[in-house]
Structure 1
Amino acid sequence: MRVTAMLVLVVGGVLIAPPAVAVADTTPPSAPQQLRISGEFRGEAILRWDASTDDSGVIYHYWVLVDGQQRARPAATTYNIDTLVQLCRITAGSHVITVQAVDPSLNRSLPSNPVGVVVGSGIGS
């Protein structure tokens, strides 16, 4: 026979039980789809992609990777890539961009399709 003990505390007439054990989420979200340069705003390249999905029902944020390095963390599915030049996180010129989705358990998706872009001088390719 197996006996399991559980500690229960009564404080001021209120029953306090230990928190339920949560099952860890290890499933990553789907990869962002159709990463593209959708146009420009004031001569600056705007990235867009189709939203990822996750078994939790929530995407926490996305990572914008420039030449393989994490450079921005937008919550939306658009990003003005020239902002990174203005913030001195990347230099003006040619770069390869990918995007990854992150769920609330910090699982990362596979990267999106890569897109070439020239920043600091208009729309990419």
Structure 2
Amino acid sequence: MLSPIPRLVAAVVITGGSLVAAPSVAAAATDVTPPSVPQNLHVSGEDRGQAIISWDPSTDDSGTVRHYWVLVDGQQRARPTATTYDIETLVLLCRITSGPHDITVEAVDPSLNRSAQSAPLGITVR
């Protein structure tokens, strides 16, 4: 008669009908520190017919920023990984209407901690 082969199911090993708890795994330290607030929001490229929002990169204690949120009038509209975003994309894909709007940016780290919002950048969509 063959003896049963142990197999791992979740965190429990089943051997011959007996349940044996697997060794515990130490939980990784939880990161609760948000990234720095994005700074220096500005628009560039208007003279070339392509308005781009840019900002200085945020920093995080993990060493990396996962992505940014671009908010228009307080609503999340885009999630770039770079420190730029095309305003035309906000207008066309995110359906930003004509008129004045405030744009802010938040940084997000690998643990999904979010920074505070940047200072607002006022734009007018025509």
Q: TM-score, normalised on structure 2?
A: 0.76
Alignment partner, residue 19 of structure 1: 25
Matched-pair contact (CA < 8 Å) for 2:77–2:94: no
- Structure 1 position 42, deviation (Å): 5.4
Match among 57, 67, 71 for residue 65 of structure 1: 71
- Structure 1 position 85, deviation (Å): 1.3
Give the greater-gyration-radius structure (CA).
Answer: 2
* Mapped pair 1:51 → 2:57: yes
- Structure 1 position 55, deviation (Å): 0.3
Flag structure 1 segments of 5+ consecutive residues without an equivalent: 1-6, 10-15
Alignment partner, residue 105 of structure 1: 111
Q: TM-score, normalised on structure 1?
A: 0.77
Identity of aligned residues (%): 66
Flag structure 2 segments of 5+ consecutive residues without an equivalent: 1-10, 14-21
User: Relative contact order: is structure 1 or structure 2 higher (C-alpha 8 Å, sep ≥ 6)?
Assistant: 1
Q: Secondary structure at the match of 2:96?
A: coil
- Structure 1 position 100, deviation (Å): 0.4
Alignment partner, residue 16 of structure 2: none
Moved beyond 4 Å, runs of 4+: none
